[in-house]
Chain A
Amino acid sequence: DTEVTQTPKHLVMGMTNKKSLKCEQHMGHRAMYWYKQKAKKPPELMFVYSYEKLSINESVPSRFSPECPNSSLLNLHLHALQPEDSALYLCATRTGEYTEAFFGQGTRLTVV
């Protein structure tokens, strides 16, 4: 199983809503990532978890809150987002620091 599964695929939320994005992997990869991507731009790193502990936070606003309940799951909790937060949110996993990343299909988020 080499899949990274993200749900939902599409999400529309209001600026006062609370929602969560989910990411699941069963490859035993120890590093899990959240990226944000705008159209025709490269992915921007948001958070990195290694061994279920937050190791990198790229100065992301607190309205984005990551959580890693176990080695297979990664969540991104969203609250009081702004329209400019609309983007494709990608989850990725890696076996280690020097290896390639496996990406999920992403969640297309629209904030209205």
Chain B
Amino acid sequence: TQLLEQSPQFLSIQEGENLTVYCNSSSVFSSLQWYRQEPGEGPVLLVTVVTGGEVKKLKRLTFQFGDARKDSSLHITAAQPGDTGLYLCAGAGGGSNYKLTFGKGTLLTVNP
């Protein structure tokens, strides 16, 4: 069974602070994705990382994929209230055809 350990599960910060969310596994994944979900809506893809050691930036968000393709992190700089939501990491191609393995999620609240 492939598991993705995501931490922290809950995070409440003030506007302007920085934060990092971690996603770790003992399995190797072909790709790892990060999604953001707002209440009552479906998850929306933020980024896909494929290459070990890869770093991708999306405005104030920085995503890293570990060299061994087993872990990833999401760093948000100067968080804003609009960043509030459930952040999910998901691993693909870890040996189970068509399964997309989700971490437990990080519920982020950014207070004004």
A interface residues with partner B (beta carbon < 8 Å): 4, 6, 31, 33, 40-43, 45, 48, 50, 55-56, 88, 90, 92, 94, 97-106, 108
Contact = CB atoms under 8 A, between A and B. Distances in A.
Contacts, number: 69
Interface of A is mostly: strand
A4 B102 CA distance: 20
Given A48-B98, A97-B92, 12 more contacts: A6-B42, A31-B98, A42-B102, A94-B100, A97-B97, A98-B92, A99-B48, A99-B92, A100-B92, A103-B42, A105-B41, A106-B40
A100 B31 CA distance: 9
Interface stretch (B12-20, B51-59, B103-111): B103-111
A99 B45 contact: no
B interface bracket (residues with beta carbon within 8 Å of A): 20 to 34
A100 B42 contact: no
